[in-house]
Amino acid sequence: MSYFTIVFEVGLAVLMIVLIIYCVILNKRLAAIRSQDTDIQAMTASFEAASQRAEESVGHIKAAGLAAERSLRVAIEDAEGVKKSISATPGKFMPPVNNMMAAHQESSAQWAPPSGDHSDPQLRDDNNVPDRAEQPLSRDQSPDRKQAEMAVLNAIRLARTEA
C-alpha cells in the first residue's frame, strides 16, 4: 500500500472517532431535552387537571348561588305576603304590637342604669339605687318581656294562618 492510502485511511478513522464522540455527546443532550420534555408534559397535565377542577367548582358555585337566589326570592315573597296581610287588617295586629312596645319600654326602663355618678361612695345617692332583692335575676325572666314575646308570636301565627 502506498503512503498516501495509509494517511487517507488514518484520517478517515480519526474522523470516524470524532463523529462517534460527537454522536455520544449529541445523544446525551437529546436525552436531557427529552427528560425536560416529560417534566413539561407532566406539568401541563397537572395544570389541565387543575383547570378542569376549577371549572367544575365554578359550576357548583353558580348552582349554589342560583339555589340561594331562588330560596331568597321565596322568602321575600312570603314576607311581602305577611306584610300585605298585616297592612290589610291593621286592627288585628295593633294591640299585640302596642303591648309589645309597652313591655319593651318598661323592660328598657327597668334595666336602665340609675341617674347620677355612683363611682365615688361619698357622692352616691342610696335613694336612686334599687334594692338587689327587687331586681329580677335576668332580662329573660321579666314577665312583661315574656308577655310581649307571646304577643309577637301570636301575631305572627295569625298572619301565617290568614296568608
Task: State how far the Cα of 101 lies from the Cα of 99, in Å rounded to an integer.
Answer: 5
Task: State how far the Cα of 75 lies from the Cα of 81, in Å rounded to an integer.
Answer: 10
pLDDT for the residue 133? 46
Which residue in the block uniquely carries the three cell numbers 376549577? 54
Regions of the chain with pLDDT less than 50 = 117, 123-127, 129-137
The answer to whether the pTM exceeds 0.85 is no
Domain ranges of the chain: 1-88, 89-110+137-163
